[in-house]
């Protein structure tokens, strides 16, 4: 989590989900964080279960109460640059 110009923020919730190719959440974790301006934090360390599909998604979200501050969605393969298990790749 990077906060370069958002001011100090207390009581945020950071969450991470690993989602397999079937759309099932294979792993998730959340943490309450306080973020100081001009800071970098790692509130959650991703853990990749052995049963996770070779190509999967990572969703990261930061919320304050009911308001989403940031949400990022990534495609990841267990082998670098190998996304062949993605049915939409060429």
pLDDT tens readout for residues 20-48:
999 999 999 999 999 988 889 999 999 99
Highest mean pLDDT range out of 17-21, 37-41, 79-83? 17-21
Asked whether the predicted pLDDT for residue 18 surpasses 60, the reply is yes
* C-alpha closest to that of 12 among 30, 29, 39: 30
* C-alpha closest to that of 7 among 27, 33, 37: 37
Q: Which domains does the chain have, with CATH numbers?
A: 2-77 (2.60.40.10)
Asked whether the predicted pLDDT for residue 90 surpasses 60, the reply is no
pTM of the model: 0.84
Pairing of strands 2-3, 39-40: antiparallel
**Beta strand residue intervals within the chain, DSSP E:** 2-3, 9-19, 25-35, 39-40, 55-64, 67-77
pLDDT at 89: 58
| Beta-carbon count within 10 A of 13 CB | 15
């Amino acid at each position: 989590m990077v906060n370069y110009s958002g001011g100090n923020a207390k009581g945020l919730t950071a969450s991470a989900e690993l989602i397999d190719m079937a759309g099932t959440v294979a792993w998730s974790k959340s943490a309450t964080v306080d973020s100081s301006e001009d800071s970098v934090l790692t509130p959650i360390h991703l853990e990749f279960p052995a049963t996770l599909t070779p190509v999967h998604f990572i969703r990261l979200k930061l919320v304050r109460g009911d308001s989403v501050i940031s949400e990022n969605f990534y495609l990841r393969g267990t082998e670098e640059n190998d996304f062949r298990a993605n049915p939409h790749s060429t």
